[in-house]
A and B are shown apart, each in its own frame.
Chain A
């Protein structure tokens, strides 16, 4: 299991990008994602699923995530989540 001890952020607020912040959370609280997106209604679940997948793959069980989406495709969401997490763990 991987524990996050500090905040990591990646991405921008440019169109087609997403700004993701990964922060520590108390053990047992799980992954809490606060998502802002112009397409939240249609794609909110999908965006969250990509972020959860990145965290799960890295063995992160507890984290607070803030995601400000500007219409990013899955590859960009994944890349930004990976970078934010790597920075949080660096």
Chain B
């Protein structure tokens, strides 16, 4: 089973208290942010703080760094500083083309050579936050072997669409579907946007269920309180695990009997259903569900 990315928690990159505690909440990944949560006058301070944190603190999760876009005065300097600390993932915000990803790829390749890191060990992910980026999502997702995930940045995206986020998220439906297709076609993870109202637990649960059912691998979170909820919703239920086990047992039995048609409780079982059952059990094992 590959690495889980049910939750990717944003941590403001210029806040020492939050940075040093980021690993204790159980998120599958933390994202140290050098972009929107850092004032323009503090970009230099944030990148040095994140660099020193990564050099000093051992995080139990994957560590990503959201750099500033390379079209801003800060993006290249962010890369130059933080790559030396070998983050697991560089996340580019407001990605709009495969060329941008390849440019960052080339910078990472040079840094890996310079610091003696294994080639390809630093991955990349892109956040789609504009209509232009969405229309190029497939190319962005497949831009480099370093690409490991593609995410949607909902707030910026709906602003670009000239609308606002609704509670049921209908304005994001096409974008989410498109990003999921791009991720699956490229064989990488699809990560949903943040849900900003940390006090609206009901809305958060509804949105998390929606994106799970759509097929997303995980969700960006902004508050540690949201982690437990996402992990619970992404954990297969006892009934789902039981069903998956029975599907596989029926499949094994049919294989043993050299029977062409398999059925379980009157329902036909074929390839995709077996694949799904195997995925459910692998996932359950990865999250320790029984």
Task: List residues of chain A with CB under 8 Å of any chain B CB.
Answer: 10-11, 14-17, 72-76, 78-80, 82-83, 86-87
Contacts and interface: CB of A to CB of B under 8 A. Distances in A.
B16 A17 contact: yes
Given A16-B16, A75-B53, 10 more contacts: A14-B17, A17-B15, A17-B17, A73-B56, A75-B16, A79-B49, A80-B49, A82-B48, A83-B48, A86-B48
A81 B164 CA distance: 42
Contacts of A79: 16, 45, 48-49, 51-53
User: Which 10 interchain pairs have the tightest Cβ spacing?
Assistant: A16-B17, A75-B56, A76-B16, A79-B49, A79-B52, A75-B52, A83-B45, A79-B48, A16-B16, A17-B16
Given A16-B16, A17-B17, A75 B57 contact: yes
A59 B229 CA distance: 51
A87 B19 CA distance: 23
Nearest to B17: A16
Contacts of B20: 16, 73, 75-76
Interface residues of B, number: 15
Interface in B4-27: 15-17, 19-20
Contacts of B15: 14, 17
A82 B81 CA distance: 12
A73 B16 contact: yes
Contacts, number: 50
Nearest to A12: B14
Interface string B130-147: 000000000000000000
A18 to B, nearest CB: 8
15 contacts: A14-B16, A14-B17, A15-B17, A16-B17, A17-B17, A72-B16, A74-B56, A75-B16, A75-B49, A75-B56, A76-B20, A79-B16, A83-B44, A83-B48, A86-B48
B117 to A, nearest CB: 20
A76 B44 contact: no
Interface in B45-100: 45, 48-49, 51-53, 55-57
A86 B44 contact: yes
Nearest to B14: A12
